[in-house]
Amino acid sequence: MASEKEVKLLDFWLSPFGVRTRIALEEKEVEYEYKEEKNLILGEKSELLLKSNPVHKKIPVLIHHGKPICESLIIVQYIDEVFPSKTPILPSDPYARALSRFWADFVDKKISQYALRIWRLKKGEELDETKKELVENLRMLEAELGEKKYFGGEDFGLADIAFVPFTSWFYSLQAFALLSVEEEFPKLTAWGNRCLERKSVAKSLPEPKKVYELLSARRKELGVE
Amino acid sequence: MVKQDEVKLIGVWASPYVARAMIALNLKGVEYEYIADDLFNKSELLLKSNPVYKLVPVLIHGDKPICESRIIVEYIDQVWASSGPSILPADPYDRAIARFWASYVDDKFFPANRVLFWGKDEKSIAEAKEQFLAALLQLEEAFVNCSKGKSFFGGDTINLVDIAVGSFLSWLKAFEIITGTNFLDKKKTPLLVEWAECFRSVDAATEVLPEAEKLVEFWKFAQAG
């Protein structure tokens, strides 16, 4: 039995990008060693992280047989390709696959930068603008989801994995930006609850209250509150 | 009545993103109808096919629109897998690396370039120039690792990374003419210089890459407006 797991994940508990990779590993029931970058919030990065992701110096990084893979959506696709299972993360049909990638990419382009910035903004024009953008883009996601069980239809897939980590941030969005996802986006809310019924998601998502506590503390440190 | 296998591409002549889709289609020997759009007066077809971003390129296969250049290229590679060389590597790790560098081009290389050549603020332009030159050095290093001594990022044939960077070569040449600077410098990035020559002579790319002089005219016109 190998003393070192052949799959390692360099991560930080709070990171939605890290959560994506954890969900994918759980979906595929892959045994892996989780290595937390404990002092990431202080700006400190481990030697291993700097060596494994010299270009971006960011988590998550998956290390498989000693070889690093970076960028969360790229990691998730790698996991899907290398660890086969009954439930593929990407569909085999080329068009369905393209749509899956498109909406996962949409989360990266149009949701993450706003959701991850809004908590550190003081009341004012920038907060209002950021909130407006986020709301518009959430509206597009709500419309795309429609009456479907998941973004890809019946099957949980890449687009769901891309967005579901942000559901842990909804509580904080309400507290800091008065944005109630539950009220404004009932379909996304129901979808989030459906996703939480999956073991992989329940196990990987940080608790919304814990996210709120950390962000709240950081806001005080940054003088936002 | 739309024939199921009809292929259309909505584009504009100057866009490197559109060039990517055309290079991929050419590489696979796919016959398609090119529909020139006008970004100052977008067609109904474009707005209907890409309601989220309203941008080119859009590939329309039968009645299915596919958006975002890298997603389009992967779609083309999958659908026409049996024609022409593979655009994505077969090995999952190599594939992850190819996707990483293609993503780097869009996240780091292009944005720096955009500010450098289209920006108005001197300070951001100076910063962008540093970032752009650093990105070129990074790509030179990536080339060593990816090409494994051969002519392209993809080895003997062009792959996703070659297409991602190569689609930009005419603009790079145009900016070299405009600024009188050699961005692709034999002393700093000798391998990229050689690679650029190889890429420009690939059949699939030759007809697609616009003449740098035409782009210079376009840039001058856009600056004046």
Say which CATH architecture domain A94-222 belongs to.
Up-down Bundle (1.20)
Contact A97 B68 (CB under 8 A): no
Give dist(CA A34, CA A32) in Å, integer: 6
Distance (Å, whole) CA A70 – CA B93 = 11
Whole-angstrom Cα distance, residue B129 to residue A172?
38
Contact status of B105 with chain A (Cβ, < 8 Å): no
CB count within 10 Å of CB B193 equals 15
**pTM score, two decimals?**
0.96
Q: Which residues contact B18 (CB under 8 A, 6 or more apart)?
A: B9, B11, B12, B56, B57, B69
Question: Angle at CA A46, nearest 5°, toward A45 and A47?
Answer: 125
Q: How far away is chain B from the Cα of A28, in angstroms, using its nearest Cα?
A: 16
pLDDT at B5: 87
For residue A101, the chain B residue with the least C-alpha distance is B71
Handedness of CA B57, B73, B158, A73 (dihedral sign): positive
Helix H or strand E encompassing B60 = strand B58-61
Q: Which residues of B fall within a CB distance of 8 Å from A55?
A: 104, 138
Q: Give dist(CA B88, CA B66) in Å, integer.
A: 18
Q: Is B90 on the interface with A (CB under 8 A)?
A: no
- The tens-digit pLDDT sequence of chain B (225 residues) is 666 689 999 999 999 999 999 999 999 999 999 999 999 999 999 999 999 999 999 999 999 999 999 999 999 999 999 999 999 999 999 999 999 999 999 999 888 888 988 888 899 999 998 999 999 999 999 999 999 999 999 999 999 999 999 999 999 999 999 989 889 999 999 999 999 999 999 999 998 999 999 999 999 998 886
Asked if B95's CB is within 8 angstroms of A98's CB, the reply is no
Over residues B152-184, the pLDDT tens digits come to 999 999 999 999 999 999 999 999 999 898 899
User: Which residues of chain A register pLDDT less than 50?
Assistant: 1-3
Please indicate if any CB of chain A lies within 8 Å of the CB of B137. Answer: no
B67 and B145 co-located in one domain: no
pLDDT at B2 (0 to 100): 61
3-state secondary structure of B200: helix
Size of chain A, expressed as the number of residues it contains: 225
Q: Do B25 and B70 sit in the same domain of this protein?
A: yes
Options 3.40.50.300, 3.40.50.720, 3.40.30.10, 3.40.50.1220; CATH for A7-82 is 3.40.30.10
The answer to whether B71 contacts A98, with C-beta atoms less than 8 Å apart, is yes
Q: Is residue B2 part of a domain?
A: no
Interface pTM, i.e. ipTM: 0.95
Hey, are the CB atoms on B92 and A67 less than 8 Å from each other?
Answer: no
Q: Are A90 and A98 within 8 A, CB to CB? A: no
Res A86: pLDDT: 76
Q: CA Rg, chain B, in Å? A: 17
d(CA B152, CA B156): 6
Is B105 in the same domain as B215?
Answer: yes
B145 touches chain A (CB under 8 A): no
Does A70 contact chain B (CB < 8 Å)? yes
pLDDT at B1: 60
A-chain CB neighbours of B100 within 8 Å are: 69-71, 74
Say if the Cβ atoms of A78 and B103 lie within 8 Å. Answer: no
Chain B hits for A101, CB-CB cut-off 8 Å, are 68, 71, 74
Q: Which regions of chain A carry the CATH code 1.20.1050.10?
A: 94-222
pLDDT score, position A4 = 58
| Range of the structural domain that residue B40 is part of | 7-80
Same domain assignment for residues B140 and B194 = yes
The domain total for chain B is 2
